[in-house]
Amino acid sequence: MMLSRRMTRGALLAVGSAAALVAAAGPSLASGALYCGAGRGLTRDVAIQSAIDDANVSASSDGRFHCVLDGEPQVFEVFDDPYFGHIFRASVTMNCD
């Protein structure tokens, strides 16, 4: 019975120590945060710029003002929008410092 309690306490101590180490090292290892943005427009370029602006506004509210694209923008062409008919929708991911 005593051996089982000691093993349980030892295992909990090891897991707790590992969790504390990961929590402390996590922020220092990250180079930036990822922010997603979405937008729409009558042209492909307007939709992409709208999505970039959306991600930048989200990042600036967290105090991150330097953002670069992380990957390629995704653009979707929509032919049956109820308000505009034919539009483009875009989604981007930005890596912000």
pLDDT at 96 over 50: yes
Query: pLDDT higher for 31 or 43?
Result: 43
Is the domain of 26 the same as that of 41? no
Is the domain of 85 the same as that of 39? yes
Is the domain of 14 the same as that of 50? no
Let me know if 64 is exposed, middle or buried by CB neighbors in 10 A (0-12, 13-18, 19+). middle
Total domains present in the chain = 2
**Range(s) of the domain holding residue 88:** 32-97
**What's residue 32's pLDDT?**
83
Query: pLDDT tens digits for 64-95?
Result: 999 999 999 999 999 999 988 999 999 999 99
pLDDT at 29 over 60: no
Is the domain of 37 the same as that of 84? yes
3-state SS, 20-84, equals HHHHHHHHHHCCCEEEEEEEEECCHHHHHHHHHHHHHHHHHHCCCCCEEECCCCEEEEEEEECCC
Q: What is the CATH number of the domain that holds 69?
A: 3.10.28
